[in-house]
Amino acid sequence: MVKDLREFLRRYEKDHPEDVIHIEKELNTAYECTAIARHFEELNKFPLIMFENVRTMNGEKSAFTCAINILGDRRKLAYAIDSTFEDVAIEWRRRADGSRIKPTVVAKSEAPCKENLLIGDRANLFKFPALKHHAMDPGHYLTAGMFACYDPDTGIDNSALHRGFISGPREIRCLLTPFTHAAFNLKKYEERGETMKFVYCVGHHPAVLMG
């Protein structure tokens, strides 16, 4: 079975329809979607909310659905790794410590992430339903992006969750806070006078975010 975000959403709704809400009303990505999520949070409820009709930061209707609370509670965390409500923490620790899987190298011609490519001026981040959560946010953010880079000395890769501030149609800014592995790697590249290559990935299976 293919494990990607689309399949997770489809399977979870099939198995737990009572915990999934589709909102068809047109909403703005600035504050309105997160206000609804905050409403449920105040009720101590964390349903998977699918916003089907949202306006992006430039006022256009997004072609994409915006999802909130994909990993909003323990039940969804368990579902993402085929565990149970009671055992999810134990199962997560077991996999993290003792069940590492060697990466599989996939050719570009076979990689799903290469099926649709928008390069150069064709790329436009403003088309994504990125949210502006709070009044002091400088703009709209991709909130579940995985930032991956390599240590230049060891070649060991590191991947971590970093909010991505969309500061332009082809620019995402991430704050690499001190004492994170990404910041340590960046410092090494800066000392060498080299550019650090990295990948910023969104839309992966929720189990990746848990990793």
The tens digit of pLDDT for each residue in 61-94 reads: 999 999 999 999 999 999 999 999 999 999 988 8
When pLDDT is averaged across residues 18-24 and rounded to a whole number, the result is: 97
Quote the percentage of the chain above a pLDDT of 90.
79
Give the pair of three-digit tokens for residue 72: 């909003």
Contacts of residue 122, defined as CB under 8 A and 6 or more positions apart, other chains included, come to none
pLDDT value for 74 = 95
pTM score, two decimals?
0.87
Distance CA 200, CA 198 (A): 7
What end-to-end distance do the CA atoms of the chain give, in Å?
19
Give the pair of three-digit tokens for residue 97: 């410590």
pLDDT value for 17 = 97
Looking at per-residue pLDDT, the higher value among 186 and 113 belongs to: 186
pLDDT value for 28 = 95
Write down the mean pLDDT value for the chain: 92
pLDDT value for 101 = 78
Q: Where are the beta strands (DSSP E) in the chain?
A: 20-23, 27-28, 48-51, 54-55, 66-68, 141-150, 157-168, 171-173, 198-201
Distance CA 184, CA 14 (A): 43
User: How would you class 108 by CB atoms within 10 Å of its CB: exposed for 0-12, middle for 13-18, buried for 19 or more?
Assistant: exposed
Where do runs of H (alpha helix) occur along 48-175? 74-80, 88-98
- 3-state SS class at 43: coil
When pLDDT is averaged across residues 30-42 and rounded to a whole number, the result is: 96
Q: pLDDT digits over 118-138, tens only?
A: 999 999 999 999 999 988 999
Quote the percentage of the chain above a pLDDT of 70.
99
Give the pair of three-digit tokens for residue 172: 């995402």
Q: pLDDT digits over 145-161, tens only?
A: 999 999 999 999 999 99
Amino acid letter, 156: I
